[in-house]
A and B are shown apart, each in its own frame.
Chain A
Amino acid sequence: MLAWTIYISFLGVLVLMLLPKGNAALARKVALTTALVGLGIAIAGLVQYKSAIAVPGAEKIVSVTDVDWVPSLGIKYHLAADGVSITLVLLTGLAAVAGILFSWNIEHRAKEFFAFYLALIGGVYGVFLSFDLFLLFVFYEIAIVPKYFIIAIWGSTRREYGAMKLALYSFIGSAMVLVGLIAAYVVSGAHSFDVTELAKYPFTPHFQFWAFPLVFVGFAILAGMWPFHTWAPTGHVAAPTAASMLLAGVVMKLGAYGCLRVAMTLFPEGLVAWRNCFAILAIIGIIYGAMVALVQKDFKFVIGYSSVSHMGFVLLGLMTLNAIGLSGAVLQMFSHGIIAGLLFAVVGRMVYDRTHTRDLDELQGMGLSKVMPFAAATFVIAGMASMGLPGFSGFAAEFQVLIGAWQAFPALAILTGIGILVGVAYTLRVLQKAFYGDGEAEAGSENQHEHEPMPPISVPERLGAVMLIAISLLIGLFPRLLLDVIIPSFDSPLFDWLRRTR
C-alpha cells in the first residue's frame, strides 16, 4: 500500500499536465488532494507497521513490492519499509502538504509548478521506500530535475545560478554514488542489487576503505555536510518558499538517508575507519553553520545556514554508531524537516511575499510583530523548536544525539553544546531584528515606502503553520510515537553492522 504514495504522486503529475492552462485554482486543488492522499497513506502505513512489529519476533522490515525488473542484471523492483523509512515517508507527506498550502498564492504557470512539485515528491517517496539500490538510485536521480526547474522558474535571488549549482552538485554527488554502487555490485558477484544481500557480502577492508568515503560523501553532499554544503544556502535562498521547505526539509534528508541506508550498511569496516573524520566534519558543520548564520544580513540566508548546522547533528548522530545516537539522528531528520519547513514558510511566504525584502536591517524598521502577529508568533515557536527547547521535537532528537555523542566522542559532545548555544544566539538575533525591531530602523532606510497595508495571513498559511507546529509539539512531547518504530528497526539484519562495530 505504501507504494501508492509514489504512484499517486506521479498520477497527480499526469492529471496536472492534462489540465487546461491558466486555471491556477484547479491546479492547486488537484495538487493538494494528491498530497493529502499521499499523507493519508503514509499515516496508515505507519499505523500498520506499528501493529506489524508489535507481534513478538516479527520481521522488522515490511516488504511492499518485490518484482523482477532486469533479471539478467539481478535488478529488482523491490520496495520495502522499516521504521526509518516509514518515519521519513511520513515526513515527506507532511512536508508535501505544508508546501502546497504555502504555495497557494502562486499564479504564474501554476500547473507546471505543482506538476514539478509532485514529481519531486514522488521521487522522494521512492527513495525512502526502495530496498533495491539500483531502484533507490533511480528515484534519487528523478528527484534532481524537478528541483532545477522549480528554482529556475519560480525562484528569486539569482535563481538560475542557484538552480544550476544545486543540480550539478546533486548530480556530482550521485555520480560518486553510482561509481561506488557499480563497484560494489561487480565485486559482490554482479548478481544482485538488493540492499539486504549486498549488506551480507563481505567486502574486503581495502575495498571498503575507498568505497565507503566515495559513497558517503556522494550522499553527504546532498545532506549538506561541510565542506560540500555551499549549494545549500544559495539554493535555499534562490528557491521559492515551497521549494525551500522541501529542499531543506526533505531533500537534504535524502542525502542523510542514503548515507545510512547505503554507505553505512554496505561498508561497515570502511565506516569504522573513516568515522572520526566524518564526525569532525559534522561538528565543524554544526558550529560553522551556526556561526555564519549569526552574521548574515539576509533573513533567508540565516535559515539556510541553520539548516546546514542542523544537518550536522544528523551526521554526528550517524557517526556515533550506537542505537541512541542513531535514533536521535533519524528523529532529527524528521524534526528538522518539520521545523525547517516552518521557518522557511515564515521567511518566504509570510514575510518576503508581503514586505518584498529579506534584509534584516530593513525589516527591523517595519515593526512586524504588530503588523503580522501570527507570523511573529509562528516564528517564535519555530525559533524555540529550532533552538532545541524541550517540548519540541528538536530537543527530543538533539538530546539523543548528545547522549550518543557523549558515549562515542566526549570531546565532540561539548563542542556540540557550544553549537547549540550559538544556535540560540542566532535565533534570538534574527527573531529580534526581523520581528521585534521596535521601529528602530537603521538611519537612512526607507521608511518612506510607508508600509502599504499588507495582506493578512491567509487561511492556507495558517493551516500549514498550525499543522507543522502541532506536529513538532506532538513529537516533542510524545517522541514515543516515532521512537517506537525507529528503535525496533535496529533489530533487523540491515543493522547487523551496528552490533558488530560496537
Chain B
Amino acid sequence: MSSLPLITILTFVPFCGALVLACGRSDQQVLTRRFALATSFISLAIALVMWKAFDAGATGFQFEERHAWIPALGVEYRVGIDGLGLLMVLLAAIVVPMAILASWRNEDRPHFYFSMVLFLQSGLFGTFTALNFIHWFLFWELSLIPAFFLVRLWGGPQRAAAATQFFVYTMVGSIALLLAFLAIFLATKEGANPGIFDFTKLAELGRNNAIFGHASAGAATAKVIFLAALLGFAVKVPLMPFHTWLPSTYTEAPSGTTMLLTGVMSKMGVYGFLRILLPIFPYQMQALRTPLLVLAVITIVFSASAAFAQKDLKRIFAYSSINHLGYCLLAIFAVATAGAGLATPAAEKSAALSGAFLQMFNHGLTAATLFWFISLIEQRSGGLRGLNDFGGLRKVAPVFCGLMGIALFSSLGLPGLNGFVGEFLIFKGVFPLATCSASLSVIGLLVTAIFILTVLQRVFNGPLNPKWSAFPDLTFGERAILAVPIGLMFVLGVYPQLVLGFINHTVVVMVKQLPF
C-alpha cells in the first residue's frame, strides 16, 4: 500500500474524470451524472483508504512523494499528508459527492458542470497535499478557474459581477502571496544553491527566525512580506475587511457550488494559515497578534450581525460562514503567543488548535448540508429563498424540517451535535490565551443563536403560508442520502475522537514547534 503513489492518484482521479466529462455531450445527462458521482466515490474510497492506513502517532508527513521538477529553481513535486492534510482531504472527499448529488437535477450542460466540479476537487486535493510552494500555488490558482466558471455560467442574475469580483479579489491576494514567497526565495538563496520553496525547510528557518536575518532592517522586511502573504489567505477565508466578495458570490452561485465554496474552498484559506503562515512566520504573527485578534473578533461579531440583518437565506448563511471561520482564525491568532503566566500554555494551545481543526471539518460538513437543504427549498419553491417567503413548513414537510433543523442546530453549536465540539475547544483554549477577544467573541455566539432560531421560526414554524400547502416533503431517496451527513453530525458530536484521534498528534507537534 505504501508503495503506491496514493496522493498522486487521489489528485489525478478527479482530474482525469473531469477531462473525460469535458469532452462529453449535453444529451447524455444520466450517464454524465453517474460518471461524475462514481468518480467522486472513487476519490472518497481512496481517501478512506488513506485514513485507514494513516499512522496517528507518527510525526512528519506520510504517503510522501518527492520528485525533482525544476532543480535550478528549487521547485520540486513534493506531496505528503499529516493529520491536518488528511482532515482536509477527507473533507473534500466527502463534500464533493454531496455537491454532485445536490446538483443532480441540473439540465444545463451537466457534463461541463460536473467537469468543473471535478477539476475543482482535483485542485483542492492538490492544494491540501502539496509541500512545495510553486507546486502548491499551481493548485491554489487552478482551483480558481472551475469556481469562476461554476458561478459565471450557472449562477443567478448578478453572476457576471459576482464571478469577476470573486476572481479578481482572490487574484489580488494570490499575487501578493506570490510576491511574498518570491521574496523569501531570494532571501534564502545561498551561493550556488537556489532559494527554498519547501514548506518544511521554510518552517524550520522560520522557527529560528533565520529567513530574513536578525538585523532590524530584516525585521521590517519580514513584516511586510508577512502582510503580503497574509493578504493572500485573508481574502480566501475571508477575514474582514477582505470579505466583500463573499456574500454576492455565495448568493449568485448555484447552491451546489455554494456547498463547495463554503464547504471546502473557504477552508483553503484557513489551511493556508495553519500550514504556511503560522509555521513560517511565527514571530511576525506574534508581533502583530493584537491587531489580528481585533480583526478576528470583528469578523466574528460583525458577520453574525450582518447575517441577522439579511432576508435571503443564502446570504444569511454566507455571512454565517464568515462567522464560523472567524472562530478558527481567532484560535490561530490566539496561539501565537508565549503564553506567559499560564500554567500549561501548551495544553491551551493544543485545545485551541484542535478546536480550529475540528471547526473546519464540522463547519464544512454542516454548511454544505445547510446549503443542500436550501437548494432543495429552491427547487420546490421555484427559486424563492427569502426568509419571509415561507412559514409553517413544518406542517407540510415535517421530515424536511426535522432534518434541516438538526443541521441548523449543529450550526448553532448545540451540544451533542458536531458544531459544538469545535467551538467548545476553541473557546476553551482561547479564553486563557486571549481572554478579552474570547469574551467579545461570545457575542458572536449569541447573535448566531438568534438568527438561526429566527430562521427556524420564520421558515418552519408559524402559520402556514397557503402558497406552500403543496410543499412536497423529502422523497425516500433524498432522505436516505441526507441521512449520511446528518448521521455524521450526530456521530461527530458524540464521538469526536473519530477525528481527534488522528489530528491530535499533529496538533501537539505543531504547538511544540511554535518557538515561544
Contacts and interface: CB of A to CB of B under 8 A. Distances in A.
Indicate, yes or no, whether A interacts with B: yes
Interface of A: 324, 377, 380, 384, 389-391, 395-396, 399-400, 402-403, 406-407, 410, 413-414, 417, 420-421, 424-425, 428-429, 432, 436, 438, 478-480, 483, 487
Contacts of B137: 390
A398 to B, nearest CB: 9
A425 B182 contact: no
A428 B167 contact: yes
B155 to A, nearest CB: 11
Contacts of A478: 69
A280 B145 CA distance: 32
Contacts of B172: 421
A69 B171 CA distance: 55
Q: What secondary structure prevails in chain B residues at the interface with A?
A: helix
B176 A400 contact: no
11 contacts: A389-B142, A389-B145, A402-B179, A403-B195, A414-B179, A420-B175, A421-B171, A421-B172, A432-B152, A436-B153, A478-B69
Nearest to B137: A390
Q: Report which residue of A380, A396, A428, A438 has the largest number of chain B beta carbons within 10 angstroms of its beta carbon.
A: A428
Contact of A421 (B73, B134, B142, B175): B175
Given A403-B73, A480-B72, A483-B70, 14 more contacts: A391-B138, A395-B138, A400-B73, A402-B179, A403-B186, A417-B175, A421-B171, A421-B172, A425-B168, A428-B168, A432-B160, A438-B160, A480-B69, A483-B73
A384 B145 contact: yes
B70 to A, nearest CB: 5
A310 B391 CA distance: 57
A364 to B, nearest CB: 11
Contacts of B178: 399, 402, 417
A400 B75 CA distance: 12
Nearest to B112: A373
A417 B176 contact: yes
B185 interface: yes
B183 A421 contact: no
Nearest to B148: A428
Nearest to B189: A407
A390 B134 contact: yes
Contacts of B152: 432, 436
A487 B72 contact: yes
Given A390-B134, A417-B176, A402 B142 contact: no
Contacts of B186: 403, 406-407
B1 to A, nearest CB: 28
Nearest to A391: B138
B141 A389 contact: yes
B106 interface: no
Interface in B63-107: 69-73
Interface in B124-173: 134, 137-138, 141-142, 145, 152-153, 160, 164, 167-168, 171-172
Given A402-B182, A403-B186, A390 B141 contact: yes
Contacts of A324: 73
Nearest to B159: A438
A391 B171 contact: no
A438 B154 CA distance: 11
A180 B201 CA distance: 50
A384 to B, nearest CB: 6
Q: Report which residue of A390, A410, A424, A479 has the largest number of chain B beta carbons within 10 angstroms of its beta carbon.
A: A390
B168 A424 contact: yes
Interface string B213-237: 0000000000000000000000000
B70 A480 contact: yes
Contacts of A407: 186
B130 to A, nearest CB: 11
Contacts of B168: 421, 424-425, 428
A284 B120 CA distance: 36
Closest 4 CB pairs of A and B: A390-B138, A417-B175, A424-B171, A403-B182
B504 to A, nearest CB: 34
A391 B142 contact: yes
Given A389-B142, A390-B134, A403-B186, A424 B167 contact: yes
Contacts of A424: 167-168, 171
A410 B168 CA distance: 23
A389 B134 CA distance: 11
A206 to B, nearest CB: 34
Nearest to A410: B183
